[in-house]
A and B are shown apart, each in its own frame.
Chain A
Amino acid sequence: MRYMLLICTDPEAPSDPPGVPDINEWVDQMDRRHVRQMGEQLAPSSAATTVRVRDGKTLLTDGPFAETKEQICGFDVIECADLDEAIAVAAQHPMAWEGRVEVRPFWTPPTPS
């Protein structure tokens, strides 16, 4: 089962709380366990441009699609047995301590019964 970890800042979260894991150790460990398939850090959302096409016209907005205090600042794609494992992996990510991590499964086509 593949999950996307959407790494998000949180202005309310403590900065550098005691016991916060190290990002390099997290990456090394998840790579070694073949949990992490890929992941990157993103430039700040002030560098973002939002694109819409309406009536054939390309409309651009300066900034992310949702103007919130929280910003998506990175992502990781992980392969886990189930949600419990994915939650455990996310909980070891430093940004779960200093921000938030959304654990989102990849879309799988429905199997109607």
Chain B
Amino acid sequence: MGGPSRSETVLDAADAVVAAHAAEWRSLVGGLIRLTGDWELAEECAQDAFARALERWPRDGVPDRPGAWLATTARNRALDRLRRSTVEVRKTEQAASRAVVDAPPAAPAGPLDDELSLIFTCCHPALGMESRVALTLHAVGGLTTAEIARAFIVPVRTMTQRLFRARRKIRDAAIPFRVPGADQLAERLDGVLAVLYLVFNEGYHATGGASLSRVMLTREAIRLAAIVAELLPDEPEAQGLLALMELHDARRASRVDPVGDIVPLDVQDRARWDRPRIERAAGRLDGAVARGRPGPYQLQAAIAACHAVAADADDTDWAQIALLYGRLRDFVPSPVVELNRAVAVAMADGPAAGLPIIESLMAIDALPGYHLLPAARADLLRRLARWDEAAEAYRDAVALVANDAERRFLERRLAEVVAMEHGC
């Protein structure tokens, strides 16, 4: 007999299980939740099905339709477990009747519906943010409790409790398992995107002693954002968020130095940026923007794209960035956005143009205790050669800064302007 050797079969089967996990996990869990109404049971039975696949597929061969094999295996396991526990008789009946009711031949709830229902329910605003994040990574992402605990640097026990409480609230408060109606979709999608962006930032801003498990959050957030973008192709903000994440992540190799300090954008080695990925993300963003429904993620992605396509800091279209920050301010009325606009205006039209924006922020004490406000003011004053005022602003910034690397940078600049002040 020809055909692959046994070790090849085993490898192929293991690959097939990994591929099936990436492709089928969410619809499998979603379908089981719809069937049983029991989140914990659904997630456990889905895990069981993959464990069984790892056992069987190398021996019996990969089934023609892996998804169907997994769904049947998981479903049988779930119904078996419900049947076995005698106190659960009523639930089995419910599940059985639900299975009949939910699967009329005319309008079956498709796997896509199950996936979206899963995502929207995990990110339901009646759950606390920590619960939403944990549940999304666990139920949607298929990460283990231990992996999520490591990534958020909490004990496994804490994460187990968090997941338990989240599932219990869904059950006790009857948080529905469904895709929100058209009138609610935009608002609820914002909530989903906020969870994914938070996960991304948790991983992205992990530096220094950052463990790989935190960096994994970035990858996971991008993967989940890609799934949401694919499931909701007509939602420009979902596309915008994915583009934003891709644009940031494409610069990953150059944004931290070997010691773990953040390298500012203007001195990053742009040769190390992932150009094809930037191109793809910019293309995705263009497609989203063309729909004419702007939003904060599209605008932030557009700003990131301005930086990403520029050959260097001088080549950057600062006027466009200043304009985009102005539009972002309409969606996110935050003094941090206004501070960024001031910096962009100063780059586009000179430091004297940016200074009044920063000073009006200071006049209303918009960012108390925020070192970047005096630091930005100091930088503009330095560029205007107003040395004594610059020195004072640097001293204000040094008094507020918490990060050692940033303090070293500010103190170096302070020494420079003091030297200039005294005419050295």
Give the interface of A toward B (CB within 8 A).
1, 81-84, 87, 103, 105, 108, 111-113
The answer to whether B126 touches A111, judged by C-beta atoms less than 8 angstroms apart, is: no
The answer to whether A111 touches B176, judged by C-beta atoms less than 8 angstroms apart, is: no
A-B contact pairs, 29 of them (CB 8 A): A81-B176, A82-B174, A82-B175, A82-B176, A83-B124, A83-B126, A83-B174, A83-B175, A83-B176, A84-B175, A84-B176, A84-B180, A84-B184, A87-B126, A105-B172, A105-B173, A105-B174, A108-B172, A111-B87, A111-B88, A111-B90, A111-B91, A112-B85, A112-B87, A113-B40, A113-B41, A113-B81, A113-B85, A113-B88
Residue on B nearest A111 in the bound complex, by CB: B91
| Chain B positions 159 through 196: 1 when the CB is less than 8 Å from some CB of chain A, otherwise 0 | 00000000000001111100010001000000000000
B62 within 8 A of A: no
A111 to B180, CA, bound (A): 27
A105 to B175, CA, bound (A): 11
B82 within 8 A of A: yes
Residues of B within 8 A of A111 (CB): 87-88, 90-91
Residues of B within 8 A of A81 (CB): 174, 176
A2 to B38, CA, bound (A): 19
Residues of A within 8 A of B40 (CB): 113
Give the interface of B toward A (CB within 8 A).
38, 40-41, 81-82, 85, 87-88, 90-91, 124, 126, 172-176, 180, 184
Q: How far is the CB of B388 from chain A (nearest CB, A)?
A: 44
Residue on A nearest B125 in the bound complex, by CB: A87
A81 to B90, CA, bound (A): 19
A28 to B172, CA, bound (A): 28
Residues of B within 8 A of A1 (CB): 174
Instruction: Name the residue in B40, B85, B124, B176 with the highest tally of chain A Cβ atoms < 10 Å from its Cβ.
Output: B176
Residues of B within 8 A of A103 (CB): 173
Residue on B nearest A105 in the bound complex, by CB: B173
The answer to whether B174 touches A113, judged by C-beta atoms less than 8 angstroms apart, is: no
Residues of A within 8 A of B85 (CB): 112-113
A87 to B173, CA, bound (A): 11
Q: How far is the CB of B192 from chain A (nearest CB, A)?
A: 15
Residues of A within 8 A of B175 (CB): 82-84
A112 to B82, CA, bound (A): 10
Residues of A within 8 A of B91 (CB): 111
A26 to B38, CA, bound (A): 34
Q: How far is the CB of A36 from chain B (nearest CB, A)?
A: 17
Q: How far is the CB of A4 from chain B (nearest CB, A)?
A: 12
The answer to whether B38 touches A83, judged by C-beta atoms less than 8 angstroms apart, is: no
A113 to B36, CA, bound (A): 11
Known: A83-B176, A105-B172. A113 touches B126 (CB 8 A): no
Residues of B within 8 A of A108 (CB): 172
A88 to B172, CA, bound (A): 18
A1 to B88, CA, bound (A): 19
Residue on B nearest A109 in the bound complex, by CB: B87
Residues of B within 8 A of A112 (CB): 85, 87
Q: How far is the CB of A88 from chain B (nearest CB, A)?
A: 9
A92 to B252, CA, bound (A): 47
Residue on B nearest A87 in the bound complex, by CB: B126
A1 to B170, CA, bound (A): 13
Residue on A nearest B81 in the bound complex, by CB: A113
Residues of A within 8 A of B172 (CB): 105, 108
Residue on B nearest A108 in the bound complex, by CB: B172
Q: How far is the CB of B76 from chain A (nearest CB, A)?
A: 16
- Interface residue from A82, A105, A113 paired with B38 (Cβ < 8 Å): A113
A45 to B414, CA, bound (A): 59
Known: A83-B126, A87-B126. A113 touches B82 (CB 8 A): yes
Residues of A within 8 A of B88 (CB): 111, 113
Residues of B within 8 A of A82 (CB): 174-176
Known: A83-B124, A103-B173, A105-B172. 11 other contacts (CB 8 A): A1-B174, A83-B126, A83-B173, A83-B175, A84-B175, A108-B172, A111-B87, A111-B91, A113-B38, A113-B40, A113-B41
Residue on A nearest B180 in the bound complex, by CB: A84
Residue on A nearest B170 in the bound complex, by CB: A83
A82 to B126, CA, bound (A): 12
